Amino acid sequence: MDRDRLEPGQTVVVQGDRIAAIGAAGEVVVPEAAMVIDGTNRYLLPGLTDAHVHLSGFLPGLTRQDFGDAPLYLASGITTRIATGDLLGPTIYTSGPFVNEPRVNTPEEVQREVVIQARQGYDLIKFHELPDTTTGLSLAAYRTMNETAREAGIPLVGHAPVNLGLDVMLQEHQSLAHVGNLGNIYFLPLQANIRFLIVSATALFILILVVLTWLGAALVGRLRRAAPHRPPTLSRVRAITGWVLLTGLAGFASAVLFYPGGLVFDSVALRFAFAMIAVFITVAAVLLSALTARLWRDTNAFVSARMQASLVSIATLALAFCLTTFWVPVSWRSSDRGIERVAARIRDAGISVQTTLINYETFSTTGRSRLLQDPGIGYLRAETRDKWRRQPTAGIPGYGYDRFMKKVAGALHRAGVPLVAGTDAMGLPLVAPGTSLQRELELLTESGLTPYEAIRAATVAPAAFLRKDKEFGSLGVGKRADLLLLERNPLQGVDHLKQLVGVMVRGKWLPSEHLHQMLADMVAKE
């Protein structure tokens, strides 16, 4: 997997669970008693790795006990090993208990936890935010977690530290467990900036309430045929306020369309219009402030007029502040230029990103319709299978986050960020073991990767992330004999990965017929 081309006419010799020799056919000595697997006109490649799975599922009872779902992984070409060797299944590289508050809080507690997990033999540290955290780790504790992992020589991956921000994450070179984590830490960081949402919503609510009050008073006046008595200055305040409200509502309605996941998330025109609305509201805020000051100097103005003008002026100033300091700058982060900029920063930080693009398909109608037809669901525990089959087809109306994340993944790849294929299998409904990785690789090619590059994300990249590239991830003498033999060339399309001749896991050959029987036996035991 070090180049995008075939090596025809090769012979691979396996002894035990290791590759003993690789070379041109006729030049490699094959032991006399060896079992020969005919690879003529077939294609051999390393076993695949799913870098993000939940063996026990996101809820208790979703999966079979003692990793009884292992054949599902093998049948999709995912090859690794159970530590005891008692069960035929993929190799598991696992993290210990998730690291985050409130389970560990202080830098000392975090340091102790990471050291203990490293000593206990876990393969990586998982920094996790959901669902039990409250505020997130403090800056000191977060830095200690990353520093301790580096000192212990153990890889660390996790969710985005949204309470600390993107800059801190990049400074600590923390790899991401989901490409979608960039949403709540960079593209639309509402959790860490909830005050802007609250202030903006409050300001709009005040403007709506005041304008409705004015309209109600005007309607009553007309019914009574009473001529309104108001200073010209207040009339101007009311007119400007009405326009502020209309443009503000229009602006936030358009933002729903172009923010990440919106129907037209790549629209530059809507972003420019949104910026112009912010400029208009800012100018209006200045005018309203000046008019309000004039009312307070007017000794003939009623107190009620002064108070109304003051209220709408303050609300408009608050709205203008939020628009210019948060909403407009953030709106450009999800533009093409903004995506490219953050991709370059992630590359420069030297971190990898697990893709899990299939996660975001589970929320769209198109994605759910496809996933409900996944044959892998048919091999899950009966109770899980039945629950998932009853899942609704309809997703979130207008949902486009899956398309947006494919665009982000493509930009990360073009920038040179190492993408590691992972699915979050059993971490979400409809993400089945094994088959979900095949879909993940299809999504990567839809993001702009070639089939070769997508396959590297499930072979070379995870081995490099785990610092186990001398153990697996490519074909080489001394590496673990985890292999796939295919009927068709996977470099011409990742869908060819589904056409298995067989799988070799730690030197044990499992032809496709045997894999199918393993799946059938797994279901029959229930």
Bridge pairing between strands 175-176 and 156-158:
parallel
Tens of pLDDT, residues 384-407: 999 999 999 999 998 999 999 999
Q: Which of 249, 288, 256, 287 is nearest to 270 (CA)?
A: 256
Contact (Cβ atoms closer than 8 angstroms) between residue 147 and residue 156: no
19 phi, psi to nearest 5 deg: -80, 120
Distance separating the N- and C-terminal Cα atoms of the chain: 40
How many helical (H) and strand (E) elements, i.e. helices and strands, does the chain have?
19, 11
Which pLDDT belongs to residue 187? 97
Q: What pLDDT is attached to residue 303? A: 86
Check: CB of residue 414 under 8 Å from CB of residue 343: yes
| Six token digits for residue 493 | 């399309």
Pairing of strands 483-486, 419-420: unpaired
Structure tokens at 18: 């290791």
pLDDT for the residue numbered 129:
79
pLDDT tens per residue, range 32-56: 899 999 999 999 999 999 999 987 7
The residues of the chain scoring below 50 in pLDDT are 80-86
Tell me the C-alpha distance between 293 and 317, whole Å: 14
Q: What share of the chain is helix, strand, coil (3-state, %, to 5)?
A: 50, 10, 40
C-alpha angle with apex 438: 435 to 440, nearest 5 degrees?
A: 110
Q: What is the pLDDT of residues 215-239, one digit of tens each?
A: 887 787 777 765 566 678 888 999 9
With helix as H, strand as E and coil as C, how does 50-115 read?
A: CCCECCCCCCCCCCCHHHCCHHHHHCCCECCECCCCCCCCCECCCECCCECCCCCCCHHHHHHHHH
Q: For residue 83, what pLDDT is reported? A: 33
